[in-house]
Amino acid sequence: MVAPDSGAATADREAAEELVAQFDRMVRRDGGSLTLESLQDRTLRVTHRSGGDLTCEGDSCVLRSVELESMMAEVLERRGLRLRVQVRSEPVSSATGETE
């Protein structure tokens, strides 16, 4: 975790929390969620729980973790933040909605 007494570390942590909250709102529309797991060595680690069908059968698709990671990295770059992002996928059973 980031040391809370460092000004740069605090700014990184706030930016990471804001980014995760922004993308969490997006994936929640499909029943998913994002959780900020850690920010260490300028690497933001996030867990993505998908809330929908990843096969894209039917009328819509949900974002895959790799797509989220790419989009989040792009936002960080545009904001001038030198953080890396790693999104770990945590499967969710489509029948029950519970974590497998």
Q: Look up the pTM and report it.
A: 0.78
User: Is residue 98 one of the residues assigned to a domain?
Assistant: no
pLDDT in tens, 39-94: 999 999 999 998 776 667 766 677 888 999 999 999 999 999 999 999 999 876 54
User: Is residue 2 one of the residues assigned to a domain?
Assistant: no
User: Is residue 99 one of the residues assigned to a domain?
Assistant: no
User: Is residue 49 one of the residues assigned to a domain?
Assistant: yes
Q: Which amino acid makes up residue 36? A: L
User: Is residue 48 one of the residues assigned to a domain?
Assistant: yes
Predicted pLDDT of residue 51: 79
Domain count, the chain: 1
Predicted pLDDT of residue 59: 67
pLDDT in tens, 20-41: 999 999 999 888 899 999 999 9
Residue 95, pLDDT > 50, answer no
Predicted pLDDT of residue 62: 75
User: Is residue 58 one of the residues assigned to a domain?
Assistant: yes
Q: How far is CA 28 from CA 1, 24, 40, in A?
A: 26, 6, 26
| 78-84 long-range Cβ contacts below 8 angstroms, 24+ apart | 79/15, 81/12, 81/15, 82/42, 83/12, 83/15, 83/16, 83/39, 83/42, 83/43, 83/44, 84/42, 84/43, 84/44
The CA distance from 91 to 84, in Å, is 23
The domain in which residue 65 lies consists of 7-90
User: Is residue 100 one of the residues assigned to a domain?
Assistant: no
User: Is residue 45 one of the residues assigned to a domain?
Assistant: yes
Domain with 19 in it: what CATH number? 3.30.300.130
